[in-house]
């Protein structure tokens, strides 16, 4: 991918990141000890259910966690920028947009209903001290044209005049127009139709390659990640439980949660009885167990050690998995079947 | 039969619910000291209005040797032009003021919420008719109407006064409740109730009303202050003939009789009723702050 | 059994100064659902599938056409008399957060319709409480835990189960599940789908499943029928497995091609049709409604409107002049 522009794409290293929220019951961790590296020019997908901490992780990329939340420890190193966690004030504000572009969840609601898209673009430009505003408008128009819209017309439109898919494109345009090379997309296709979703995913992939970006996609939908991401990271209860190249993780998931999640998705072909619901329900901030494995309540292969021992984080080639079961048999494949195919290595 | 054994169980379920509700209310009030202060102030005024006048003879004693006396232990807020204790005047005058406020609030809320709910739920023709009436009502200027009315009506009883103020005041509440109803009726649970064939009274009373309770309670409390201001203003202006004493009468006499704005002698006489009004408003404002949390189960239980 | 014939519905949008604009939501839709059967409507948002569900649940009126519920044609009744019939169709809302009254406990929520039911059937107060517990058990919830709680104290999956239990209070013949799992966590969705499937078997309730997710539609009713709806018109209809494996209408093919492929587990369908998005939904004056987006359109498609029907070669009905079977759905990757 993106062979031509790899040099421009910065890498991002998130290390030992912990984010806590202050509640009546003290400070509770929404994200705990997350290590994640976004290699330059790749798309990384983070998958998780509600309460998994995926959106908090995305906000941390911009150091934009709002009180009562705060980043307790760890760092987010972006090439050419340094540790975002230590930035503050004006430096931080300039970072957002210029270096890191953010496409908000349900971009349909993140536009100002009282201003045209063009006006909001100019506001964005002014707040970032862009001298060449006509140039900015030109860039925006070409981005919108690139995404299959009539740029000039969209810039003259109000939010309500645009469909869901068009608003999502506007969100992507606003994230990229200041020439950011790290882009975070939070649930980019939620509430969109299947066909629109497919189009938006294609556009994300194409723009990513053309502009040489490093992209992070946050979603609850494994399908979205499967379509566009090079690497896949699975979050549960604030932890990263598994990560690796998308095809390998989907083809042969190692963590019981990833396996369960894949099995819980109804498929278009094959025996429908293969699909199995995961028992229990995802933890909320207040019910995440403080120690031991976060997933053990719902795990089919739990052991005594899961109650108390923090699962070891194992690196197996390009893959990382945090599970006690993986500790014993290292490189061995799991025995649980995943959907119609058995979990075979695809590498 | 089992019916008889289950019945008390059902009743106890609703009793538990009620107990939990009041426990929740207590929790919400305890959360901020200001709310407790508000409750204490309002309870104090309620006590004053109900029992206050009982502590004083029908005709308050006059001390002709101490006209416009300054504050002292015997007269904490001094005396008026006749030598009557100002504190006694404030207390005995509170009943009329508070009762008016209460009657106004009840009428405002019952009429406003009733009309708003009905119009918003029924929509269509009912809505148009009721809202046109509301609009017409909203265009009636209150003060001039009161001035005209006062020439033929003496408003000797607080209930009459409250009735008139209430009939003048329900328009705003009706409009706001209607728009709330219009948005709530599209919510899933109201549609579900319709789909299940539940009766309109059930939907309005049990499904819609509880969701609007904080809003209605707030409006009710605010209507009390509005009514107090309105009537005190009318008496202050001297538009209404005063037969009994009340706070507005006191203000009128202090300013126009005692010249409180130019000399200091009548100042305590002026400030005492003002202070009472301010304190009452403060108490209400402090309590209004808790309404959202009281009527929203999530905020209440947390 | 519930059937519909030629259902049409047009919404009148207030278009500001230019006056009312007419938006056709349904253009003569025929359907039929057996007792205990499963029918799925799939299509993009705004295609009319939700409107049809709401019409069947009696929450929306229709302009013309006939609905027959258990042999009783609705046109033979006055509007007031129709309500008890439409009540036998209960709608499960997409959003379990707004479908329950936040100010009422689950006990209160179930008590109201059950009280009404008890009155109609002359049952005692004790029956109400027993039935509430029975229904919660049926949807897989612990009555002791759920009954005294407020909706905010339950998870999305539990709420959706409560919503289903509430719909069952009136002993419906059919449940209309409108995107009933789209707002529920992925790991919990299958539980809700399984419950709906289970209710078909155990209670003989038929399920009308409205969704844009074909795989969930398949899960609920493998034995059922799939209706593909485009702009208020049924463009393809047939047994679920047939429509998924051998779609003949280009719109169905686009829709199925757009479903993300789980690379690593699956390989994309051989003849995946690259779908075009409806950016400009301008109304064609004549011809096929899908023509503007169709990669296979011909002269005839823009001048003549195809109608739903069989032709010799296909198992399913379709509304296309150039039906061609294409295999577009992802298939399992062959284990190496």
Q: Is B1 on the interface with C (CB under 8 A)?
A: yes
Write down the pLDDT at residue A43: 96
Which residues neighbour A94 within 8 Å (Cβ) at sequence distance 6 or greater? A128
When pLDDT is averaged across residues B285-289 and rounded to a whole number, the result is 87
Q: What is the DSSP string of B48-89?
A: HHHHGGGGS-SS----TT-TTPPP-SS-TT-B-TTS-BHHHH
Are A45 and A247 within 8 A, CB to CB? no
- Chain A hits for C278, Cβ within 8 Å: 195
Write down the pLDDT at residue A328: 57
* pLDDT value at B213 more than 60: yes
Write down the pLDDT at residue A20: 93
Rounded to the nearest angstrom, the minimum Cα separation between C82 and chain A is 34
Write down the pLDDT at residue A231: 95
Band (pLDDT 50/70/90 cuts) for residue C285 is: low
Tell me whether residue A41 is in a domain.
no
With a pLDDT cut of 90, the percent of chain C lying above it is: 50
When pLDDT is averaged across residues A156-181 and rounded to a whole number, the result is 88
* pLDDT value at B194 more than 80: yes
Q: Is C16 on the interface with A (CB under 8 A)?
A: no
Neighbours of chain B (3+ CB pairs under 8 A): C
Write down the pLDDT at residue B144: 81
- Chain C hits for B214, Cβ within 8 Å: none
Eight-state DSSP code of residue B257: I
Rounded to the nearest angstrom, the minimum Cα separation between B192 and chain C is 7
How far is the C-alpha of A99 from the C-alpha of A122, rounded, in Å? 18
Treating both helix axes as pointing N-terminal to C-terminal, what angle do A164-176 and A194-211 enclose, rounded to 10 degrees? Answer: 20
* pLDDT value at B64 more than 80: no
With a pLDDT cut of 90, the percent of chain B lying above it is: 16
Write down the pLDDT at residue C283: 63
Q: At A259, which helix (H) or strand (E)?
A: helix A256-263
- Give the one of C99, C107, C126 whose C-beta lies nearest to B189's C-beta: C99
- Chain C hits for A206, Cβ within 8 Å: none
Are C305 and C296 within 8 A, CB to CB? no
- Chain C hits for B202, Cβ within 8 Å: 112
When pLDDT is averaged across residues C248-258 and rounded to a whole number, the result is 92
Contact A196 C44 (CB under 8 A): yes
How many structural domains are present in chain A? 1
Domain that includes residue A151, residue range: 108-179
Treating both helix axes as pointing N-terminal to C-terminal, what angle do A117-127 and A133-146 enclose, rounded to 10 degrees? Answer: 130
- Give the one of A195, A201, A278 whose C-beta lies nearest to C187's C-beta: A278
- Among C141, C262, C268, the residue to mutate for chain A (most A Cβ within 10 A): C262
Rounded to the nearest angstrom, the minimum Cα separation between A234 and chain C is 13
- Within a 10 A sphere around the Cβ of C59, how many other Cβ atoms? 17
Rounded to the nearest angstrom, the minimum Cα separation between A86 and chain C is 34
Rounded to the nearest angstrom, the minimum Cα separation between C331 and chain B is 38
Q: What is the DSSP string of C41-83?
A: EE--TTSSHHHHHHHHTTSS--SEEEEEETTEEGGGS-HHHHH
Write down the pLDDT at residue C30: 93
- Among C58, C85, C101, C102, the residue to mutate for chain B (most B Cβ within 10 A): C101
- Chain C hits for B16, Cβ within 8 Å: 148
Rounded to the nearest angstrom, the minimum Cα separation between C303 and chain B is 40
- Give the one of B188, B196, B297 whose C-beta lies nearest to C93's C-beta: B188
* pLDDT value at C137 more than 90: yes
Closest residue on chain C to A196 (Cα): C277
Write down the pLDDT at residue C310: 82
Band (pLDDT 50/70/90 cuts) for residue A5 is: very low
Q: What is the CA radius of gyration of chain B?
A: 23
* pLDDT value at B5 more than 50: no
With a pLDDT cut of 70, the percent of chain C lying above it is: 93
Contact B192 C163 (CB under 8 A): yes
- Among C46, C264, C278, C279, the residue to mutate for chain A (most A Cβ within 10 A): C264
Eight-state DSSP code of residue C87: T
- Chain C hits for A226, Cβ within 8 Å: 260-264
Tell me whether residue A333 is in a domain.
no
Structure-token pair, residue C109: 């929520």
Write down the pLDDT at residue C335: 53
Closest residue on chain A to C94 (Cα): A191
Q: Which residues of C touch B (CB under 8 A)?
A: 57-59, 83-84, 86-87, 90-91, 93, 95, 98-105, 107-108, 112-113, 116, 124-126, 129, 148, 150, 152-153, 163, 166-167, 169-170
Q: Is B183 on the interface with C (CB under 8 A)?
A: no
Rounded to the nearest angstrom, the minimum Cα separation between C42 and chain A is 11
Task: Answer with the residue of higher pLDDT: C332 or C242.
Answer: C242
Q: Where is average pLDDT lowest: A102-116, B101-115, C182-196?
A: A102-116
Tell me whether residue A168 is in a domain.
yes
* pLDDT value at C136 more than 50: yes
Rounded to the nearest angstrom, the minimum Cα separation between B5 and chain C is 8
Which residues neighbour A191 within 8 Å (Cβ) at sequence distance 6 or greater? A106, A108, A164
Closest residue on chain A to C278 (Cα): A196
- Residue C101: how many CA atoms within 13 Å on its side-chain side? 30
Band (pLDDT 50/70/90 cuts) for residue A34 is: very high
Structure-token pair, residue B182: 């219009």
How far is the C-alpha of C9 from the C-alpha of B150, rounded, in Å? 58
> What mean pLDDT value characterizes chain C?
88
Tell me whether residue A172 is in a domain.
yes
Contact A250 C264 (CB under 8 A): yes
Helices (H), chain B: 2-31, 33-51, 86-122, 124-139, 142-152, 158-184, 188-195, 200-202, 209-237, 247-252, 267-288, 291-295, 297-301
Write down the pLDDT at residue C316: 87
When pLDDT is averaged across residues C81-103 and rounded to a whole number, the result is 90
When pLDDT is averaged across residues C292-320 and rounded to a whole number, the result is 86
> Which residues are registered as beta bridge partners of C207?
C38, C175
Write down the pLDDT at residue C222: 85
Contact B196 C93 (CB under 8 A): no
- Give the one of C45, C260, C263 whose C-beta lies nearest to A193's C-beta: C45
* pLDDT value at B192 more than 50: yes
* pLDDT value at A131 more than 70: yes
How far is the C-alpha of A162 from the C-alpha of A112, rounded, in Å? 12
* pLDDT value at B68 more than 80: no
Write down the pLDDT at residue A9: 84
Task: Answer with the residue of higher pLDDT: C104 or B81.
Answer: C104
Treating both helix axes as pointing N-terminal to C-terminal, what angle do B2-31 and C125-138 enclose, rounded to 10 degrees? Answer: 70
Are B45 and B39 within 8 A, CB to CB? no
When pLDDT is averaged across residues C153-179 and rounded to a whole number, the result is 93
Rounded to the nearest angstrom, the minimum Cα separation between C16 and chain A is 14
Q: Is B3 on the interface with C (CB under 8 A)?
A: yes
Contact B3 C125 (CB under 8 A): yes
Contact C260 A268 (CB under 8 A): no
Q: At A73, which helix (H) or strand (E)?
A: strand A69-78
When pLDDT is averaged across residues B174-202 and rounded to a whole number, the result is 90
- Chain A hits for C183, Cβ within 8 Å: none
| Domains, chain C, ordered by start | 2-88+172-332 (3.40.50.300), 100-171 (no CATH)
- Give the one of C91, C107, C125 whose C-beta lies nearest to B195's C-beta: C91
Report the alpha-carbon angle A160-A164-A168, nearest 5: 105
Band (pLDDT 50/70/90 cuts) for residue A346 is: very low
Band (pLDDT 50/70/90 cuts) for residue C280 is: low
Contact B207 C101 (CB under 8 A): yes
Backbone angles phi, psi at C249, to 5 degrees: -85, 135
Which value does ipTM take for this structure?
0.87
* pLDDT value at A234 more than 90: yes
What CATH number should be reported for the domain whose range is B49-301?
Answer: 1.10.3720.10
Residues in chain C: 336
């Amino acid at each position: 991918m993106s062979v031509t522009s790899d040099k421009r794409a910065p890498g991002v290293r998130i290390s030992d990141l912990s984010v806590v929220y202050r509640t009546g019951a003290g400070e509770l961790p929404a994200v705990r000890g997350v290590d994640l590296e976004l290699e330059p020019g790749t798309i990384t997908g983070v998958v998780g259910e509600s309460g998994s901490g995926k959106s908090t992780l995305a906000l941390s990329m911009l150091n934009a966690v709002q009180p009562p939340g705060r980043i307790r420890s760890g760092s987010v190193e972006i090439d050419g920028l340094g540790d975002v966690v230590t930035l503050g004030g004006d430096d931080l504000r300039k970072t957002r947009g210029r270096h890191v572009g953010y496409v908000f969840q349900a971009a349909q609601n993140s536009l100002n209903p009282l201003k045209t898209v063009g006006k909001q673009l100019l506001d964005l430009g002014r707040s970032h001290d862009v001298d060449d505003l006509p140039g900015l408008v030109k860039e925006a128009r070409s981005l919108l044209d690139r995404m299959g819209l009539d740029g000039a017309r969209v810039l003259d439109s109000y939010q309500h005049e645009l469909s869901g898919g068009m608003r999502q494109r506007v969100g992507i345009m606003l994230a990229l127009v200041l020439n950011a090379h790290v882009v975070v997309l939070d649930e980019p296709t939620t509430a969109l139709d299947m066909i629109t979703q497919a189009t938006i995913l294609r556009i994300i992939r194409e723009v990513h390659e053309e502009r040489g970006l490093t992209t992070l996609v946050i979603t609850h939908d494994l399908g979205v990640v499967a379509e566009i991401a090079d690497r896949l990271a699975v979050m549960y209860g604030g932890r990263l439980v598994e990560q690796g190249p998308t095809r390998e993780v989907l083809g042969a998931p190692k963590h019981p949660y990833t396996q369960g999640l894949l099995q819980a998705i109804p498929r278009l072909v094959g025996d429908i009885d293969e699909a199995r619901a995961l028992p229990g329900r995802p933890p909320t901030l207040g019910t995440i167990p403080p120690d031991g494995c976060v997933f053990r309540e719902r795990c089919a292969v739990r052991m005594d050690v899961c109650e108390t021992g923090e699962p070891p984080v194992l690196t197996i080639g390009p893959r990382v998995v945090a599970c006690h079961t993986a500790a014993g048999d290292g490189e061995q494949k799991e025995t649980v079947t995943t959907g119609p195919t058995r979990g075979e290595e695809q590498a | 039969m089992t019916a008889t054994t289950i019945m008390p169980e059902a009743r106890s379920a609703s009793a538990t619910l009620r107990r939990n509700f009041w426990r929740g209310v207590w929790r919400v009030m305890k959360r901020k000291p200001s709310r407790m202060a508000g409750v204490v102030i309002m309870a104090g005024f309620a006590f004053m209005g109900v029992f206050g006048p009982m502590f004083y003879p029908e005709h308050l004693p006059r001390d002709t040797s101490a006209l416009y006396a300054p504050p002292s232990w015997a007269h904490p807020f001094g005396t008026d032009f006749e030598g009557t204790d100002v504190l006694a005047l404030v207390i005995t005058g509170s009943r009329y003021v508070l009762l008016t406020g209460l009657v106004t609030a009840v009428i405002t809320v019952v009429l406003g919420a009733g009309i708003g709910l009905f119009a918003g739920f029924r929509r269509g023709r009912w809505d148009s008719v009721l809202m046109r009436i509301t609009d017409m009502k909203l265009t009636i200027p209150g003060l001039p109407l009161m001035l005209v009315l006062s020439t033929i009506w003496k408003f000797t009883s607080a209930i009459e006064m409250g009735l008139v103020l209430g009939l003048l005041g329900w328009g705003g509440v009706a409009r706001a409740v209607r728009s709330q109803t219009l948005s709530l009726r599209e919510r899933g649970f109201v549609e579900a109730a319709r789909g299940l064939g539940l009766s309109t009274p059930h939907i309005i009373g049990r499904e819609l009303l509880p969701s609007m309770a904080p809003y209605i309670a707030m409006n009710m409390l605010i209507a009390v202050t509005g009514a107090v201001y309105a009537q005190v203003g009318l008496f202050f202006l001297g538009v209404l003939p005063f037969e009994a004493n009340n706070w507005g009468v006191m203000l009128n006499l202090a300013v126009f009789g005692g010249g409180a704005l130019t000399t200091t002698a009548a100042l305590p006489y002026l400030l005492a009723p003002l202070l009472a009004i301010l304190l009452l408003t403060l108490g209400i404002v402090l309590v209004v702050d808790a309404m959202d949390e009281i009527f929203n189960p999530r905020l209440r239980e947390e | 059994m519930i059937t519909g014939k030629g259902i049409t519905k047009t919404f009148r949008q207030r278009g500001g100064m230019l006056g009312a604009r007419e938006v056709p939501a349904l253009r003569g839709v025929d359907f039929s659902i057996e007792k205990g059967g499963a029918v799925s409507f799939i299509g993009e948002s705004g295609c009319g599938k939700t409107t049809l569900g709401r019409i069947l649940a009696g929450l929306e009126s229709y302009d013309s056409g006939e609905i027959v519920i258990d042999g009783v044609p609705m046109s033979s009744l006055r509007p007031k008399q129709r309500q008890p019939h439409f009540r036998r169709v209960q709608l499960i809302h997409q959003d379990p957060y707004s479908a329950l009254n936040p100010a009422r406990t689950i006990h209160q929520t179930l008590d109201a319709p059950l009280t009404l039911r008890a009155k109609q059937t002359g049952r005692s107060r004790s029956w109400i409480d027993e039935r509430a517990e029975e229904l919660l058990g049926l949807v897989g919830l612990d009555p002791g835990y759920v009954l005294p709680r407020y909706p905010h104290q339950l998870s999305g999956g539990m709420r959706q189960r409560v919503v289903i239990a509430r719909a069952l209070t009136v002993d419906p013949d059919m449940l209309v599940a409108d995107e009933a799992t789209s707002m529920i966590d992925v790991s919990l969705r299958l539980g809700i789908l399984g419950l709906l499937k289970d209710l078909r078997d155990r209670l003989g309730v038929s399920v009308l499943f409205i969704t844009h997710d074909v795989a969930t539609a398949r899960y609920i009713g493998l034995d059922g029928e799939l209706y593909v709806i485009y702009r208020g018109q049924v463009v393809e209809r047939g047994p679920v497995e047939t429509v998924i494996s051998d779609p003949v209408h280009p719109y169905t093919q686009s829709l199925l091609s757009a479903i993300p492929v789980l690379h690593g587990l699956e390989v994309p369908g051989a003849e995946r049709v690259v779908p075009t998005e409806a950016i400009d939904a301008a109304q064609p004056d004549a011809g096929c409604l899908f023509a503007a987006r169709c990669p296979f359109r011909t002269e005839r498609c823009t001048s003549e409107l195809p109608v739903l029907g069989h032709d010799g070669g296909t198992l399913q009905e379709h509304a296309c002049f150039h039906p061609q079977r294409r295999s577009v759905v992802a298939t399992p990757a062959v284990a190496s």
